[in-house]
Chains A and B, each alone.
Chain A
Amino acid sequence: MHRMPLGARRLLILVLTLLTTAAATWMFCAAVRVPWGVLAVLILALYAVLFFWISLSFWLACAGFLCCMLDEGAIPACRPRDADTRRLPEARTAIVMPIYNEDPRRVLAGLRATYESLLATGQGDAFDFFLLSDTTDPDLWLAEELAWARLNQELAGPRRVFYRHRSKNVGRKAGNIADFCERFGASYRYMVVLDADSVMSGATLVELVRRMEADADLGILQAPPVPVNRVSMFARCQQFAAHVYGPIFLAGYSWWAHVDGNYWGHNAIIRLAPFMRHCGLSPLPGTPPLGGEILSHDFVEAALMRRAGLKVCLAQDLGGSYEEVPPTLIGYAQRDQRWCQGNMQHIRLVFSCGLAPMSRLHMGMGAMAYLSSPLWLLFMILSAFTVAAPWGEAPGDEGWRAGGVLFAATMALLLLPKFLGYVYLLFQPGRLRQCGGAVRAAASMMLESVVSILVAPIMMAFHVVFVISTLFGLRVEWDAQERSECGLRFLPALRGHWKQTMAGVFTAAVVLLFAPTMAFWLAPVYTGLILSIPLSMLLGSVRLGQALTRARLLVTPAETMPPDVLVRLRKLLEEPIANELKEPGLLFARLLSDPAFAELHGSILQATDTIAPAAPRQARRVEKLVRTGQPLRILRDDRRAVQGDPAVLRSLRMAHWTALAS
């Protein structure tokens, strides 16, 4: 497979995808006897576009399967030639973790586990760690500082773990990283970007640097992150899918994209000098939603690296790269909404000058990941309308037969890659055992497939709302995102899904009344929507997840045989949460009463040039409450404002001690 020229690979995938789409569209014409007209052409066009989308993914999975089976494991696009690890200390690498209002306990635990794993490789001296905070929540800000100080006191080895806080998150995550590059980037050859929930093993980090050292044209090397550590049924499904089906999809993608790969924003190593030269981003012309700051910066940075002639590759053969997924369906949707606006901006960025065609395709695919939902919905509405309309005609026997074949073909396209992933697993006895064995892995695959079928219309409904609200500049209100695993209660589930339930009931009623012949075909859609509330609660259930673990269903190698770095992370997370983190304002009170903590905070403000004078009115308001011994009643925004002003803090500390005396 890997001997095939790159152009031929892409042509093959394109031809196969087009042929599949043409055949399916032809069968669709036979199945649905629609009188020719604008409506019919529109339905067919929608069907062809959507089918092209799923058949592309199907053929990539098939190619990946063949790569994995024929080449005895997936071969990465950028294979290292030079195995000299002695060169690493020269190649200084910064491991940066941009954070924004994240749980400091989890963030620091992940960073520490990664650091200790790296130290164990004996190559720790070549790496520096940076915690790049854009946190605006005053309590989390102080908690981060304390956690960083504690980490520095407890760590062994070189302990080059730095902390930088910005008072304003200009440019969001891309701006945060750009600020790092401008301040410290010149001192490093590489940068590894981690997410707040990322963990990477030391061996993987060293290997990433080694591969970059071996190929001077390699600009970005992405280590695909595997979801781990969650217990809820929903998360377990994601984790199982990533472990079992992921390898073939990644192998296919890497075979097809080769050096025109993509960057997913974290768990990747970047060559800093060209990144700084070629990847500076400016806001898009116009106003949000499609103008303003570039939100999904990763795709754009990969495209700009390619435009500069550097390779962007996927290291799909590397393990040791992990992340966490939201434990509930609602949490997952919330995350998707954040990504939606960024991916919608890609519709414009597709037309950027000088980009490689594959980079444009990546951006198109990014936008299509969300746009496909409203297109599916439109397609279903138009199809049902055509059948129910006075001029519409119910399919005859031949139509039903063709429809059945088409339905089977569509399901095959969606489910066959999962089966191929399972077949590949069967050929790897070690991994198979870690996934529960052949029978349990098969049962897990079926369970995951049922869940994904039921969840698909719910996600479609979410995406439709996200796309429409993004394009019209509307806000979708959510409860605060629950990152910890404590299940999903009825009320939050009701708030998150009542509109979908109503939409499901309405759809079922309309279909049964006006187009009963379509009822069977549309059943998976309205059933999923009607059941969205109980389904979401069930999938978010930790108990159910634990029961599945006991039954060894939906288990993954990271669970049955966890690597050291994950074992360490779990142990670190078992430590109890400090009382000061449980109530807002307690840490601010400590800042006033603990002179060493005040010294630490002041030192960080000064060292990172983040001093921001507080408004005199806010300072007076805060001082009044401190003088009367009520620091816990200080408003969040006021706390935030005075925390950035060392002069005000000094006078507040004095006020605190004076208040104590009286």
Chain B
Amino acid sequence: MNSKKPVFSQTRGAAAPDGESPPPAARKVERLLAEYLRAWGLRDPAMVAALCGRWASAATGDTQADLARAAVQRAECDVQKWLDHVATLISPGSAEDRVRRRGLIAMTIQDAIDDYPDAFLRYDSLPTGLLRRLQDAARPVVPNGGAGATMPVQPLGELPPVLRPGMWRRTLTRLLAACLLVTRFNDRP
């Protein structure tokens, strides 16, 4: 049977004539991808439709879940590559430094991308405004080049085990003897 056949290629792709609306499974995947892009802060309908169409058409899967997973994986992969590219533009230094700044780059893209929808996933000539905003925001999580040092443990000497009764025996005996001495001295006529 054709159960092994990819759902999407079954319903859309070369077989699907232009202008025909996609089948329900594909529509669902596109809606999901639109949701994913909205989570990235992208709201521009034309851009969202174009990207969703691109990813959805490339996705293959046996079931609705497989299809969705493949589409989102594709989208994730593309976004990750683009983020790497943006991070390299912002921080041309070491890979370590890029990792430190990537988190805030992503958060800023989420805030700013709706102002520059065309820049999303674009590799060449990113808008200067967006780049400046990203450069301004891309602070590292921790400072670069944290030189490793050690704090040698300091000797404190022998510390008495003050909760052990044995330690107090001698002191208490002496104290008791002193008490008795004082008492006897006082009792003398």
Contacts and interface: CB of A to CB of B under 8 A. Distances in A.
Interface stretch (A106-114, A183-191, A246-254): A183-191
Given A595-B79, A596-B109, A276 B104 contact: no
A438 interface: no
A662 B64 contact: yes
A15 interface: no
Contacts of A162: 140-143
A181 interface: yes
Contact of B68 (A153, A471, A662): A662
Nearest to B35: A660
Interface in A333-365: 347-349, 351-354
Nearest to B31: A661
Given A36-B182, A596-B107, A607-B141, A352 B156 contact: yes
Contact of A603 (B64, B99, B110, B183): B99
A617 to B, nearest CB: 23
Interface stretch (A65-73, A96-104, A280-288, A392-400): A280-288
B50 interface: no
Pick from B69, B145, B150, B159 the residue with the most CB of A within 10 Å. Answer: B159
A149 B107 contact: yes
A393 to B, nearest CB: 16
B183 A595 contact: no
Given A657-B69, A662-B64, A181 B154 contact: no
A163 B137 CA distance: 15
A250 to B, nearest CB: 29
B83 interface: yes
Interface string A120-147: 0000000010000000000000000000
A164 B143 CA distance: 10
Interface in B57-116: 64-65, 67-69, 72-73, 76, 79, 83, 96, 99-104, 106-111
Nearest to A307: B154
A661 B65 contact: yes
B100 A603 contact: yes
Question: Which 8 pairs of residues, A with B, have the shortest CB-CB distance?
Answer: A353-B157, A603-B103, A661-B68, A599-B106, A600-B103, A280-B151, A596-B110, A282-B153
Given A597-B107, A661-B67, 5 more contacts: A153-B107, A351-B160, A596-B40, A603-B103, A654-B69
18 contacts: A37-B183, A38-B179, A41-B178, A128-B143, A162-B140, A183-B146, A186-B149, A279-B151, A284-B156, A290-B162, A349-B159, A353-B158, A594-B110, A600-B103, A602-B103, A603-B100, A607-B96, A662-B68
Interface of A: 36-38, 40-42, 128, 149, 152-153, 159-164, 178, 181-187, 276-282, 284-286, 289-290, 304, 347-349, 351-354, 471, 593-597, 599-604, 606-608, 654, 657-658, 660-662
